[in-house]
Amino acid sequence: MKCFSRYLPYIFRPPSAILSSSCHAEADIISTVEFNHTGELLATGDKGGRVVIFQREQESKHQPHRRGEYNVYSTFQSHEPEFDYLKSLEIEEKINKIRWLPQQNAAYFLLSTNDKTVKLWKVSERDKRPEGYNLKDEDGRLRDPSMITMLRVPVLRPMDLMVEATPRRVFANAHTYHINSISVNSDYETYMSADDLRINLWNFEITNQSFNIVDIKPANMEELTEVITAAEFHPHHCNTFVYSSSKGTIRLCDMRTSALCDRHAKFFEEPEDPSNRSFFSEIISSISDVKFSHSGRYIMTRDYLTVKVWDLNMENRPIETYQVHDYLRSKLCSLYENDCIFDKFECVWNGSDSVIMTGSYNNFFRMFDRNTKRDVTLEASRENSKPRAILKPRKVCVGGKRRKDEISVDSLDFSKKILHTAWHPSENIIAVAATNNLYIFQDKVN
């Protein structure tokens, strides 16, 4: 496993969160992190409905080591709090997911969603402004037509660079339950949004109509036994997608078979070991995230204690299982009481699908090398993340004598958790969201 080192001279923190490292506003908590397809931009969403975009600095001859630093590029309010008067329900502004569209021109496009509404945003630059209007003066006021004696040709004048974010489409009123996933199709004409019981297919050009492609809502809600937890399109085949459930199962669907994909093409489930059966078995087997590999050959899933890799050609069991924090198995009772057992951890592939990353507690995050089978635990914290300092692997001591560099499982801080991570599509650069802090690490450079 390669070392990772800090290379940014700062940790991003929102202005309202700089009072104290132990004190943060609820609205500043980062709820999603996503690189664009080139890795030049990195977007984060927070519980306050804001989207912050970071841009990678270009390499300089005088400061070659600065290549790779990300600085704030644009900040905008994506969603506002709303109230559903028919259901007497507050709709949070929290950004649940962000997904980038491939860049087609000078502008960037991204999807962002809260619990109910998906928005398509255009982010563009403007460094020139028009001057010399005929019907308006320089302040924008209309001129008296009788005073216009000659025709002027407007010209473009240079101005300070301005980054504008404008909503191009708003996709609303299609979900009764909370949206947990959005995924852009490989045809780049459609995308899907998934909530607890339904998955809808949208066309980017049509905002007032979507097609329901999965509906698991029973006629009698008392018969409800599982919910949809995550969904994603295949990276290359526009007709294929997967969705995971709270029962620990994954269904692969083919939209060519029928308009409503109520019958799956493949069903992935691992038989439960009776010796590990407990009161918490159903809760910890719930899948919180599902991701196709970049090659499209494998599926990665994250449940509470493990990350599993599935081959699309083998449905009866995963080909790889990685223990994320098995030392918490003895702590499940207390984790259930403080609701931590319901935390939704995400997982990501690196660009070559050879390394897996996912989060844990105490601001720890785990990496698993699929080739060497080695793993490492690293910590994202202000104390050990000085610029360009190498991160030291951390170890958790379960019982017995604790070594100097180990931390006891009883000392773990469960309020500090890494739920959201992202990996640069082609380089070893990772983004880790720890509450209201964003850490960016890169592979050790000699």
Cα separation values, 138 from 135, 144, 249, Å: 10, 14, 63
pLDDT tens-place string over residues 74-103: 999 999 999 888 888 899 999 999 999 999
Looking at residue 62, its pLDDT comes to 60
pLDDT tens-place string over residues 393-438: 999 988 767 777 789 898 999 999 999 999 999 999 999 999 899 9
Which portions of the chain are predicted below pLDDT 70? 1-24, 60-68, 384-385, 400, 444-446
Looking at residue 15, its pLDDT comes to 39
Of the candidates 368, 393, 258, 278, which has an alpha carbon nearest to the alpha carbon of residue 318? 368
Which residues lie closer than 8 Å to 325 by C-beta, 6 or more apart? 305, 360, 361, 364, 366, 396
Looking at residue 320, its pLDDT comes to 96
Q: Is the pTM of this model over 0.85?
A: yes
Looking at residue 16, its pLDDT comes to 38
Looking at residue 24, its pLDDT comes to 62
Helix (H, G, I), strand (E, B) or coil at 295: coil
Which residues lie closer than 8 Å to 256 by C-beta, 6 or more apart? 239
